[in-house]
Amino acid sequence: MDYGLALALAGAAVATFMAGIGSSIGLGLAGRSATGVLTEKPERYGLTMLLVVLPSTQGIYGFVIGLMVMNILGMFAGEIVALTIPQGLSIFFACLPVGIAGMFSGIHQGKTCVGGILMAAKRPEMVFKAGILYAALVEFYAILGFLISLLILIMGIKIG
């Protein structure tokens, strides 16, 4: 068995699953809040929709890193690269920043979006000034995790 390859694929799975879990929890929180607001004020749909969708980006970041690992491994070309255990570990650990940052920021961005959605019910003029801005600040840390994983995979790991 190629343990290096298994470790690399585990890294791709961790990046995708952890970031996806964070996004789905964040989306669930924001979605429940939005449906509550929309039962009373359906005209706020446009304002709430953006805040519901925002936590989904973390899952996209994890997915992109997962695809990138699969590309590095040659899975799309049909010629899978043999890896040593240290190379597999390097790829595994390169995937952790996007997975961990994506999971926690997705959850907390969802919670922040809940506040913005509740604000949309009472003060719709403040949604873009505060609600989306605050949610975007949480997003920044998901972007940092994504960039670290991306840079390590692009520049830090030499295979072949």
Domains of the chain: total: 1
Tell me the CATH number at 89.
1.20.120.610
DSSP character string of 83-95: --HHHHHHHHHHH
Per residue in 29-41, pLDDT (tens digit) is 999 999 999 999 9
pTM summary value: 0.90
Contact by Cβ (8 Å): 11, 96: yes
Angstrom distances, CA of residue 82 to CA of 3, 79, 154: 9, 9, 18
**Residue 147 CB-density burial (10 A; 0-12 exposed, 13-18 middle, 19+ buried):** middle
Angstrom distances, CA of residue 136 to CA of 32, 92, 110, 132: 20, 28, 11, 6
User: Which tops the pLDDT comparison, 98 or 121?
Assistant: 98
In terms of phi and psi (left: phi > 0; alpha: psi -120 to 50; beta: otherwise), the region of 74 is left
Per residue in 53-109, pLDDT (tens digit) is 999 999 999 999 999 999 999 999 888 988 999 999 999 999 999 999 999 999 999
Confidence of residue 10 (pLDDT cuts 50, 70, 90): very high
Is the pLDDT at 9 greater than 90, yes or no?
Answer: yes
Look up the domain containing 96 and give its range.
3-156
- For 19, what's the count of Cα atoms within 13 Å in the CB-facing half-sphere? 31
| Residue 113, number of CB atoms within 10 A of its CB | 29
